[in-house]
């Protein structure tokens, strides 16, 4: 209880309390490199904002209280974390590296706490997914996994950019690309076939009969696959020159833009089956291409023996085989 009183209140008792705590903290071998959480939270906020004042607002403390906590952490570490210049503070090189590690550690503690509160009687699995893949492929199948494993709670977040298991609070992720990921293991799930798709009205207007006819068409581009059209034209043995068009950051937006007649999109057909069945999307011409990259389930080496992940791996590999066999 006394330790938490360190966060606010009169500075003199805090100083005296810290003097008493430091030697005891250093003597506790299992925890000798674990600073008080209050100090780490103050440092994390100050590092993110590059401001003690902004950190104080976030933590509902005074600026002087945050400053004292940062100073106490620096004394504990034996090195400065910030350069102090008049009314400004800036992370030192070592402080910046420490901030990245602490931010990830605090995020993992927060995630573990939320996971426990969501399912105190069982296990949990934190997944990161590509939005379109999660929405169109995984979510319709996930009830089967949960029915077979009612003791596992699955938490899902989406990612459209590369992730780092060292700073993320996820157990595994599904990504598309090559079969390499530093510091991680992976299972190949499936490939994909992309085809140039558009609205029926745009297809009629374009009247494309061969791949070269699409060079002058309005082309839709996915931000995470900026060279997709160049690769498609190369597979068709066509030199398109410079490829232009609308750039969007998610497959769902690309699919909706194509459906609305804004352009031709290269889309994985298994993710837009509903639109193809309804006729909202059609092939601009019959020229599908099998991608060289694949979808992978990726997990860090530290999770090699994580039972919820083991169960999910077994299940999703079976589901992927069903998809590949269609």
Q: pLDDT by residue (tens digit) across 52-73? A: 999 999 999 999 999 999 999 9
How many Å apart are CA 174 and CA 167, to the nearest integer?
Answer: 17
Q: pLDDT by residue (tens digit) across 157-170? A: 988 777 777 777 78
Question: The tokens 């089967």 sit on which residue?
Answer: 144
Q: Within this chain, do residues 100 and 9 fall inside the same structural domain, yes or no?
A: yes
- Domain stop point among 82, 98, 113: 113
Q: Which domain does 162 fall in, by range?
A: 119-191+293-324
Average of pLDDT values for 274-299?
92
Average of pLDDT values for 12-39?
55
* Count: domains in the chain: 3
Determine the pLDDT at residue 122: 62
Q: Within this chain, do residues 105 and 15 fall inside the same structural domain, yes or no?
A: yes
Q: Within this chain, do residues 125 and 222 fall inside the same structural domain, yes or no?
A: no
Residue 1 has pLDDT above 70, yes or no: no
What's the distance, CA 194 to chain centroid?
Answer: 24
Which CATH number fits the domain that encloses residue 84? Answer: 1.10.10.10
In the predicted model, what is the mean pLDDT of the chain? Answer: 85
Contacts of 158 (CB under 8 A, 6+ apart): 128, 129, 130, 131, 134
Determine the pLDDT at residue 71: 94
Provide the 8-state DSSP code for 8.
S
Which CATH number fits the domain that encloses residue 182? Answer: 3.40.190.10
Q: Within this chain, do residues 80 and 152 fall inside the same structural domain, yes or no?
A: no
Angle between helices 63-77 and 11-27 in degrees, nearest 10: 30
Centre a 10 Å sphere on the Cβ of residue 131 and count the other Cβ atoms it contains: 16
How many Å apart are CA 114 and CA 107, to the nearest integer?
Answer: 10
Q: Within this chain, do residues 163 and 253 fall inside the same structural domain, yes or no?
A: no
Determine the pLDDT at residue 31: 60
H helices then E strands: how many in the chain? 12, 13
Residue 18 has pLDDT above 70, yes or no: no
Residue 263 has pLDDT above 70, yes or no: yes
Q: Within this chain, do residues 78 and 15 fall inside the same structural domain, yes or no?
A: yes
How many Å apart are CA 118 and CA 76, to the nearest integer?
Answer: 35
How many Å apart are CA 297 and CA 313, to the nearest integer?
Answer: 8
Q: Within this chain, do residues 177 and 307 fall inside the same structural domain, yes or no?
A: yes
End-to-end CA distance of the chain: 61
Full-prediction pTM beyond 0.85? Answer: no
Choice between 304 and 29, residue whose per-residue pLDDT is larger: 304
Residue 47 has pLDDT above 80, yes or no: yes
Q: Within this chain, do residues 285 and 307 fall inside the same structural domain, yes or no?
A: no
In the chain, % of residues over pLDDT 90: 60
Q: How many residues does the chain have?
A: 326
Please state which of the ranges 35-39, 74-78, 119-123 shows the lowest mean pLDDT: 119-123
Angle at 293 between CA 292 and CA 298, to 5 degrees: 155
Determine the pLDDT at residue 2: 33
Choice between 181 and 259, residue whose per-residue pLDDT is larger: 259
Q: Residues 54, 58, 59, 61: what is their CA dihedral angle, to the nearest 10 degrees?
A: 50
Determine the pLDDT at residue 45: 94
Determine the pLDDT at residue 9: 41
Residue 27 has pLDDT above 50, yes or no: no
Q: Within this chain, do residues 25 and 109 fall inside the same structural domain, yes or no?
A: yes
Report helix, strand or coil for 72.
helix
Residue 242 has pLDDT above 90, yes or no: no
Determine the pLDDT at residue 43: 94
Choice between 301 and 97, residue whose per-residue pLDDT is larger: 97
Determine the pLDDT at residue 107: 84
- Domain stop point among 64, 83, 113: 113
Q: Within this chain, do residues 233 and 89 fall inside the same structural domain, yes or no?
A: no
Residue 118 confidence class, pLDDT cut points 50, 70, 90: low
Please state which of the ranges 22-26, 199-203, 299-303, 310-314 shows the lowest mean pLDDT: 22-26
Determine the pLDDT at residue 5: 35
Q: Within this chain, do residues 264 and 297 fall inside the same structural domain, yes or no?
A: no
Nearest to 175 by CA among 323, 314, 303, 298: 298
Determine the pLDDT at residue 220: 97
Average of pLDDT values for 268-274?
93
């Amino acid at each position: 209880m006394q330790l938490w009183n360190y966060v606010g209140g009169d500075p003199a008792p805090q100083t005296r309390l810290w003097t008493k705590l430091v030697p005891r903290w250093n003597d506790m071998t299992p925890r000798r490199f674990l600073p008080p959480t209050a100090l780490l939270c103050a440092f994390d906020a100050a590092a993110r904002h590059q401001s003690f004042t902004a950190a104080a607002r976030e933590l509902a403390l005074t600026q002087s209280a945050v400053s004292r906590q940062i100073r106490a952490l620096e004394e504990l570490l034996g090195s400065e974390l910030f350069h102090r210049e008049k009314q400004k503070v800036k992370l030192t090189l070592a402080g910046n590296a420490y901030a990245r590690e602490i931010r990830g550690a605090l995020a993992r503690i927060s995630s573990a706490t939320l996971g426990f509160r969501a399912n105190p009687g069982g296990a949990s699995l934190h997944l990161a997914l590509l939005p379109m893949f999660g929405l169109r492929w995984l979510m319709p199948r996930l009830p089967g996994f949960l029915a077979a494993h009612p003791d596992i709670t699955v938490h899902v977040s989406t990612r459209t950019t590369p992730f780092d298991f060292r700073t993320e609070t996820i157990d595994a992720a599904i990504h598309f690309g090559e079969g390499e990921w530093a510091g991680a293991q992976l299972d190949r799930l499936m490939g994909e076939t992309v085809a140039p798709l558009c609205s029926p009205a745009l297809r009629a207007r374009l009247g494309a009969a061969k791949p070269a006819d699409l060079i002058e068409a309005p082309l839709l581009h996915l931000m995470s696959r900026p060279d997709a059209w160049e690769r498609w034209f190369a597979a068709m043995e066509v030199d398109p020159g410079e490829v232009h068009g609308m750039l969007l950051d998610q497959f769902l937006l690309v699919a909706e833009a194509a459906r609305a007649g804004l352009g031709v999109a290269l889309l994985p057909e298994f993710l837009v089956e509903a639109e193809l069945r309804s006729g909202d999307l059609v092939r601009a011409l019959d020229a599908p291409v099998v991608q060289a990259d694949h979808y992978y389930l990726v997990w860090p080496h530290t999770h090699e023996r994580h039972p919820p992940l083991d169960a999910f791996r077994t299940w999703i590999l079976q589901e992927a085989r069903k998809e590949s066999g269609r």
